[in-house]
Structure 1
């Protein structure tokens, strides 16, 4: 159930920032003075959102543990990459707030795919996604 909830949250938030890029631009300090997202910023936010919609949808549709693990590894890699970039590009308190939030998703999303904390796939692990 947790895997499904995290995947659904990924898809919903990502769709929201594709529709309204300013919802990510403002916390990052990338919005214009009038509160809008500049077109170049909006384009990049929409690209991030579209990528995460695809990853979240793949998490929702994962038919087996190995697929879920692969997709959540992609999700974590994307989140850690985003966290590193936001951490390097943003300044002040925003740097830690935004990078920390993004990195926390990179840690949280894979947890249901690795319920016992180990990477190797075992038959017992298959129960972790059957609760959908």
Structure 2
């Protein structure tokens, strides 16, 4: 598990979630959920805020969870949310371009969390002290 990557995804997700909860237009406009003048209707704002809060809380969990099973679980929740967003937004957003963009962004963020879970700290290193394995040799820098 690459803790630093998971923490970075968590911070970015939490910040984005808080921003969208406060200003739903940040998600509504690029998703094609605003009207022709770029305004987001009250019902759309109401529907987007809980999703944004989900992102804020799941990102915060990834940021603060202790390393180990708690962080792994927080990452699984985040991955499920991102891949779920890809499926649901890809199926329901207006316009092919917006659907493709939403799928790409959602899968991209989910993939970062997957990479963080799958990365082997022994192979890739962690923090200031990194280790390198070459055949039977192991060198610490």
TM-score bracket for the superposition, by shorter chain length = 0.7 to 0.9
Q: Distance in 2 between matches of 1:2 and 1:39?
A: 36
Higher strand share: 2
Query: 2:110 matched to 1:106?
Result: yes
Q: In the alignment, which residue of structure 1 is the partner of 2:97?
A: 93
Is there any run of 5+ residues in structure 1 with no aligned partner, and where?
A: 117-123
Q: In the alignment, which residue of structure 1 is the partner of 2:133?
A: none
Is there any run of 5+ residues in structure 2 with no aligned partner, and where?
A: 130-141
**How many equivalent residue pairs?**
122
Shift of 1:63: 0.7
Q: In the alignment, which residue of structure 2 is the partner of 1:48?
A: 51
Cα 1:81/1:128, change in 2 over 3 Å: farther
Q: Distance in 1 between matches of 2:40 and 2:100?
A: 21
Q: Decide whether the 8 Å contact of 1:4 with 1:59 is kept in 2.
A: yes
Residue from 57, 61, 64 that aligns with 2:60: 57
Secondary structure class of the residue paired with 1:37: coil
User: After the TM superposition, which residues 2-81 of structure 1 pair with which residues of structure 2 at under 5 Å, given as runs?
Assistant: 2-81=5-84
What is the TM-score normalised by the length of structure 1? 0.83
RMSD value over aligned CA atoms? 2.1
Structure 1 or 2, whichever has the larger Rg, is: 2
Q: Distance in 1 between matches of 2:73 and 2:34?
A: 34
What is the TM-score normalised by the length of structure 2? 0.78
Q: Decide whether the 8 Å contact of 1:83 with 1:100 is kept in 2.
A: yes
Q: Distance in 2 between matches of 1:104 and 1:85?
A: 15
Shift of 1:42: 0.9
